Each structure stands twice: as structure tokens, then as C-alpha cells.
Amino acid sequence: MRSDPFESAIRRFDEENRRDPRTAEFDGQSHPREYLHAIKVSGWIEKLAPAASAELRLAARCNALRRWEIPRDTYPKTTAGYHRWRKALQAFHAKAASDILRDAGFGDDVLAKVEALIFMKNFPADPEAQALEDADCLTFLETKFHAYLSEWDEPKTVRILKGTLGKMSERARKIALDLPLSEAGQALIRKALG
């Protein structure tokens, strides 16, 4: 008997992301970094868009699929280099996700919608693309932001936060203000919003 395509795809995405050799600490436990990211983005989607389509729930789980395979340092440490890296990642994630979705039994319509969400093709007009961006940004703030506080100076941190918060909906920005971050982290978010 063949398993449900949705559950099969989620299981495969999780298997792939559990292979991440990098780890991230969250709530006192160590996790494969992209697996943690996928779980947290999915969790935010459940909170932000409880009636989300299957395509959005799939995209939430695979929008950073195997990200470690294209390290940031393979591109110049410039804003232009960052954007080129992000575009390369989107194409990589979309291809890897499409292969898994097709193997799970999904048709071209589902693959096209998941790809559109990964590429943010209709952002911010598409409410599901906005929900995915909100979930991704909240996950960044919740799980990765604190690690950068010691690496970035305040002007760079505020600039990056302004960019992140600027992509978020008003609702998600309000949630960001209530995340359990350090006092310094919350102060920087307030400054970026100010």
C-alpha cells in the first residue's frame, strides 16, 4: 500500500534536512540546523495560517532544503553576493523539492505552486507567499538572530533587521516584538521598527 503523498514528502524533506552536519541550539537541545529551521517554519505556518493549503505546508518544510550544500562563503561577502547566493539557493531548493514531490506522487500543478512559493514569485500579493515569508523571518529571529549579535556591529544589525522586518506583515512584526529574545535583541528590533 502506498503512503499518503503529503506525509511521504514531509518525511523525505525531514530525512534530507536531518543530514545537515551543522547544528543549532534551541531550547537547550542541539538539532540539525536546517531540520530545526523547517520544523519551526512549519510551526509558524500552523499559527499564522491554520487553513494553509497543502502547497504552503509543503513549501514551509522545504524552502531551505539541504541549504548547507551551497555555503554562504561560496559567494562574495557583499550585498550583491548575498543576493546571488539567495537566488542560487532558491533554484537549488526548488529542484530538490520538486524531485521529492514528484517521487511522492504529486503532479505538475503542486510542483508549480510549491516552486512559486519557494521563489516568492507573487510576494507580497499572494497571502500564502506573505505567510511563508513571515514564518521564515520569525524563525530567523527566533533561532538564528541571537548568534549574529556578537558578529555584527549595531548599525549592520539594525540594517539587517530593517530588511527582515520590512518583508513581514504588520501582524508578524507585532509577534516579533513578543518573541522570547534577549533584552539586547528586543531593543534592536524596537530600534529597527522605530
What is the per-residue pLDDT across 136-166, written as a single tens digit (0 to 9) for each?
999 999 999 998 888 899 999 999 999 999 9
Give the model's pLDDT for residue 1: 42
What is the per-residue pLDDT across 174-183, written as a single tens digit (0 to 9) for each?
999 999 999 9
Q: Which residue has the cell 554562504?
A: 72
CA 166 to chain centre: 16
Buried b (16+ CB within 10 A) or exposed e, 59-89: bbbbbbbbbeeeeeeebeeeeeeeeebeeeb
Reported pTM: 0.95
What is the per-residue pLDDT across 3-16, written as a single tens digit (0 to 9) for each?
799 999 999 999 99
What is the per-residue pLDDT across 33-73, written as a single tens digit (0 to 9) for each?
999 999 999 999 999 999 999 999 999 999 999 999 999 99
In 3D, which of 81, 60, 63, 64 has the Cα closest to residue 72?
Answer: 81
> For 82-97, what is the mean pLDDT?
97
Whether pLDDT at 2 is above 70: no
